[in-house]
Amino acid sequence: MLHSDDTTNAPGSGAQKLTGRIASGPDDLLRTEVLEPQLRFEIAALLPSYVRLEKVLLLEYRRLGLLDDAQTGAIAGLLDLVTPEAIAEEAGASMSDIAFTLERFVSGRLAEVPPAWHVDRSRNDLQATAQLMYGRSRVLDSAEVLLEFGRTAHRLAERGVDLVMPGYTHMQPAQLISPGFYFAGLCDQVLHTLDRLDTVYRTASASPMGAGAMAGQELPWDRARMAGLLGFTGVRTHSLRAVAQRDWALEACAEFSLLGVALSRFVTDLMTWGSAGYGFIDLPDQWSGISSAMPQKKNFPVLERIRARTAHLTAAYLDISTGQRSTPYSNSVEVSKEANARVPAAFDDVASVLRLFGAVLENLEFRSDRMRAACESEYLGGFTLANLLTLEGGVPWRTAQVVAGRYIVGAVERGLPPAQPLGELLDALLAEQGYAVDDADGLLARAMSVQGGLAAKCTEGSANPDAVQRLLDEQRAGFDRVAERWRERRARIEEGAAGIDRLLAEPEVRQ
């Protein structure tokens, strides 16, 4: 976390000079406010990545003939001794910079430092790669949490396939749906986000190593080999872009923001359905709250917490995007450190939202009696009635809409529930338009049937219970495919790590 590569140790520290450009170490305020907090984060989150990177560089130095097997082994052995405590202890003499501290830790314990160790190296691509490795791990973790949340939503949807409830448009009862149909929509949203995270992961799978400070390097580094050992699928081909941009963080926060918007809307529906005016759902007492003044109330503050936390996801994207905006297109602390400062919290927030929301879905109870009663009290079959008038009575569609609407107005004025058809009213309204149907009572009964309203839908993706079950079966298979894809990605990283230690333990074989 330094302003440039032109830095040195504080005078009198006893450490070797890092550069001849400046003659003093950081001011205490700069160290306290900026460098030390950054170092604490990097020790906690990035140290294993820096150690792994140093080992890959060792393999390249050996391959290039700049270090022999003994030198390589000695440095690798010291890297294996690195601990967070040791780095924290030595950081003060290395400007609180993790890369310099690692170099100091190793060189201070070698009988003789090989002259070529760290030749042709920059911290810029080293830092970009360490951050990317951290980001890649967090994306993997986020995908797995999202996958588990999706499976939880899927289990809830399967419980509600055959139940009925009103669907709402413009906050008004509109059509019959089922909880299974509704939560299958949540599953679809999760699968969509998982697909989009594939793109984020592809961005996080291109290694910056070998880009140098910005214009490439002067030794023939095998960038593809280094990328493979680090678990990447390829290299970021343009050296400037490799160190100037933090695409992975920007894209991850963008996806979390988009997901947060969608999840906030689902939570809003649950908040509405759980209110006393609806009473469609309930949560166990351990997931509920009370009022300090109104003993009759049972609140669901966890839903408010979840919805509020989705706002943090939008804020994180705004923070990183404005932090990068209008900066020069090159490596800078502004982009690499400050713009990314809230990115770890974004990963924490999305995991928290998904865990909490998943627990709500796992514990949610449908109050099927209240949902059915709400369906039976509303004329949700108006659309079906207009369709039947057109398809079976030959009434032009717009006229059928008018007749259906006037019938519902008339029935409501008479205080009739939807289940009590008034065929004579429908006949009279049709006669005014010059039309007639056989068995108006039977047609009305079919149109206003609660269970029949679901069966009337026949297209794929509809609320028809059979269609919902087919969709849920497809989604189950989709979750299985996604899970396997992310397992393979994690395995690739683990295989690369094992390959590094194996190669370090073997002598270099030259052609």
Three-state SS across 263-326? HHHHHHHHHHHCCCCCCCEECCHHHCECCCCCCCCCECHHHHHHHHHHHHHHHHHHHHHHHHCC
Compute CA distances 316 → 94, 322, 323, 349, whole Å: 31, 10, 10, 10
Q: How confident is the model at residue 510 (pLDDT cuts 50, 70, 90)?
A: low
Instruction: With a cut of 60, say whether residue 511 has pLDDT above it.
Output: no
Q: Is 197 within 8 Å of 143 (Cβ atoms)?
A: yes
Q: How confident is the model at residue 95 (pLDDT cuts 50, 70, 90)?
A: low
Q: Note the pLDDT of residue 22.
A: 67
Segment (H or E) for 158: helix 123-159
- The first and second tokens of residue 353, run together, are 């939202």
Q: Note the pLDDT of residue 491.
A: 94
Q: Note the pLDDT of residue 3.
A: 35
Q: Let me know whether 238 and 289 are in one domain.
A: yes
Label the pairing between strands 234-235 and 206-207.
parallel
The CATH number linked to 433 is: 1.10.40.30
Share of the chain above pLDDT 70, in %: 93
| Averaged confidence pLDDT in the chain | 91
Q: What is the mean pLDDT of residues 211-237?
A: 94
Per residue in 448-476, pLDDT tens?
999 888 988 989 999 999 999 999 999 99
Q: Let me know whether 315 and 210 are in one domain.
A: yes
Q: Note the pLDDT of residue 170.
A: 92
Q: Please state the three-class secondary structure of 321-388 as a single string.
A: HHHHCCCCCCCCHHHHHHCCCCHHHHHHHHHHHHHHHHHHHHHCEECHHHHHHHHHHCCCCHHHHHHH
Q: Note the pLDDT of residue 285.
A: 87
Q: Is 71 within 8 Å of 113 (Cβ atoms)?
A: no
Instruction: With a cut of 80, say whether residue 347 has pLDDT above it.
Output: yes
Q: Let me know whether 362 and 437 are in one domain.
A: no
pTM: 0.90
Which range has the top average pLDDT, 6-15, 156-165, 276-285? Answer: 156-165
Q: Let me know whether 269 and 300 are in one domain.
A: yes
Q: Let me know whether 237 and 134 are in one domain.
A: yes
Q: How many domains does the chain have?
A: 3
Q: Let me know whether 317 and 197 are in one domain.
A: yes
Asked if residue 444 is part of any domain, the answer here is yes
Per residue in 38-83, pLDDT tens?
899 999 999 999 999 999 999 999 999 999 999 999 999 999 999 9
Per residue in 104-115, pLDDT tens?
999 999 999 999
Label the pairing between strands 165-169 and 234-235.
unpaired
Q: Report, in angstroms and rounded to the nearest whole number, the Rg of the chain calculated over CA atoms.
A: 32
Q: Note the pLDDT of residue 28.
A: 86
SS3 207: strand
CA-based angle 407:408:412, to the nearest 5?
A: 120
Q: Let me know whether 360 and 404 are in one domain.
A: no
Range of the domain at 35: 28-119
Q: Note the pLDDT of residue 27.
A: 84
d(CA 293, CA 299): 12
SS3 170: coil
Q: How confident is the model at residue 129 (pLDDT cuts 50, 70, 90)?
A: very high
Q: How confident is the model at residue 1 (pLDDT cuts 50, 70, 90)?
A: very low
The CATH number linked to 300 is: 1.20.200.10
Q: Let me know whether 184 and 212 are in one domain.
A: yes
Strand partners for 234: 206
Amino acid (1-letter code) at residue 58: L
